[in-house]
Amino acid sequence: MRTAVDTARSATSAAPTPATSTLAPKPMSGFSKPEETTQSRALLLLINELMGGVETRFGIKPGTLVERKLVRIFKDMPMATLKDWVESMNNCSTEHSEWQSLVENLTVHETYFCRDPDLMSMLGEEIMPHLLNLRKTQKQVQIWSAASSTGEEVYDLTFSALRAMQKAGYARMFEGKLVPEAGWSVFSFGTDISNQALRTAKAAVYGDLGMGSFRNLPDEWKSMFEDVKIAPANAMPGVNYFKIREWVRQCTRFERFNLMNNRPPVMGMDLVFCRNVLIYFEDPIKKAVQTMLARSMSTGGVLVLGASVQMLVPEYFESRLGKGGPWYVRNDTRV
Ligand SMILES: C[S@@+](CC[C@H](N)C(=O)[O-])C[C@H]1O[C@@H](n2cnc3c(N)ncnc32)[C@H](O)[C@@H]1O
């Protein structure tokens, strides 16, 4: 189904215009003629209104990047149509395809395998031994990547968990597959707001494009992939494609989930990663999301937020500082 966002985007892509300004109601370079000033102000006010809805529904705070994207998307749309559309957006559910289409355009899906090598080695050397010790009776490790984008982080976490289990004697290589010992299992759950990103995550096929998923791939990670042939119609010339092997994929599941929801999609998680997304949210929303993540976790479970995000609910966690940054151990305080 074609949405208003698609229509506006195709109008803009036919006549590309430079990104212009922020939402502050001042003349933008693209709207510098005097007779256009009123129109540009009206556009900015409408975008401001829409942005309020984006923040309330998806947490993404108004920022120059998001504002520029919106200005670019809507600049060529007739003002009356845009006004009607913003009004109807205000009245429709967050799950409506118009909101979904808008959020697909506003979210940043940047991710790649082994994105932070120090963090990954901390995961293998500090966090996983802690979790394997915690779970040595239940023999199950449950992982949630709470903004998994196109899936790389979920496969990284699954592979790292299996490798740590192998090191501890709880998994072994069998016929080229790294498999848990009898009774042990790993379950990794990936969620994101973007359906497009989730489709890629589920397909588990990645191309070796220059600055793509493989830009930082260590040699030890390569056993997770197999070569795959893509139909010439879908393949980019000169790009090789690789698929995550079945023995990793079978431990994973992906679903759509909006972090603004205060009921977690899963409970009893042992390891929760929520990296490179809370930076787009204001503090009160960050705090609400961290509370929801705490609710999803088992006592002793570990939360990783990345180095640049402050822990705003310290009452639920004990902080540790490892060689790859901070990690947080869930205490037994009820949320
Ligand atoms: C930059 S990627 C981070 C991917 C991965 N965690 C990493 O660190 O490489 C940010 C992801 O957050 C998702 N996102 C943004 N707002 C969201 C929300 N309200 N709920 C769920 N996911 C959201 C975006 O769709 C995007 O895929």
* Ligand 1 atom 19 nearest Cα: 58
193 pocket-lining for ligand 1 (C-beta < 6 Å): yes
141 pocket-lining for ligand 1 (C-beta < 6 Å): no
* Ligand 1 atom 9 nearest Cα: 111
4-14 and 64-74 are packed helices; what angle lies between their axes, rounded to 10 degrees? 80
Quick one: 295 and 216 in the same domain?
yes
The predicted structure's pLDDT at residue 53: 93
Phi-psi label, residue 139: left if phi above 0, alpha if psi -120 to 50, beta otherwise:
left
Quick one: 179 and 303 in the same domain?
yes
Query: Does residue 111 belong to any structural domain of this protein?
Result: no
* Ligand 1 atom 13 nearest Cα: 147
Query: Does residue 164 belong to any structural domain of this protein?
Result: yes
149 pocket-lining for ligand 1 (C-beta < 6 Å): yes
Quick one: 37 and 137 in the same domain?
no
Query: Does residue 262 belong to any structural domain of this protein?
Result: yes
Report the CATH number that the domain containing residue 237 is assigned in CATH: 3.40.50.150
Quick one: 135 and 278 in the same domain?
yes
Amino acid making up residue 306:
G
The predicted structure's pLDDT at residue 324: 96
Query: Does residue 246 belong to any structural domain of this protein?
Result: yes
Query: Does residue 112 belong to any structural domain of this protein?
Result: no
Query: Does residue 335 belong to any structural domain of this protein?
Result: no
Find where tokens 């994101």 sit: 192
249 pocket-lining for ligand 1 (C-beta < 6 Å): no
Query: Does residue 250 belong to any structural domain of this protein?
Result: yes
64-74 and 97-106 are packed helices; what angle lies between their axes, rounded to 10 degrees? 120
Q: Residue 45 belongs to what domain range?
A: 4-106
Cα separation of 59 and 69, whole Å?
17
One-character DSSP codes across 6-17:
HHHHHHHHHS--
* Residue 180 burial by Cβ neighbours in a 10 Å radius (0-12, 13-18, 19+): buried
Quick one: 218 and 315 in the same domain?
yes
CA of 11 to the centre of ligand 1 (A): 27
Q: Hey, CA dihedral for 237, 239, 245, 251, is it positive or negative?
A: negative
Please report, for residues 56, 65, 73, the alpha-carbon distance to residue 45 in angstroms, rounded to integers and kept in the order given: 17, 17, 15
Quick one: 325 and 259 in the same domain?
yes
Quick one: 188 and 315 in the same domain?
yes
HEC readout, 223-292: HHEEEECCCCCCCCCCCCEEEECHHHHCCEEEEECCCCCCCCCCCCEEEEECCCCHHHCCHHHHHHHHHH
Quick one: 61 and 149 in the same domain?
no
> Considering the entire predicted model, what is its pTM?
0.89
- Cα distance between the two ends of the chain: 41
Among 155, 193, 293, which residue has the most ligand 1 atoms within 8 Å of its CB, making it the best to mutate? 193
Quick one: 141 and 72 in the same domain?
no
The predicted structure's pLDDT at residue 225: 97
* Residue ending a domain, choose from 78, 106, 134: 106
* Residue 238 burial by Cβ neighbours in a 10 Å radius (0-12, 13-18, 19+): exposed
Quick one: 146 and 53 in the same domain?
no
Query: Does residue 76 belong to any structural domain of this protein?
Result: yes
58 Cα nearest atom in ligand 1? 19
Q: What is the mean pLDDT of each run of 10 residues along the chain (335 residues)?
A: 49 33 35 58 87 93 77 84 93 94 91 96 98 97 98 98 98 96 97 97 94 92 95 89 98 98 98 96 97 98 97 98 97 97
Q: How many CB atoms lie under 10 A from the CB of residue 182?
A: 7
**Residue 147: CA count within 13 A, CB half-sphere:** 25
Please report, for residues 126, 182, 216, the alpha-carbon distance to residue 294 in angstroms, rounded to integers and kept in the order given: 20, 30, 31
Quick one: 78 and 100 in the same domain?
yes
Quick one: 312 and 207 in the same domain?
yes
Q: What total of structural domains would you count in the chain?
A: 2
* Residue ending a domain, choose from 86, 106, 126: 106
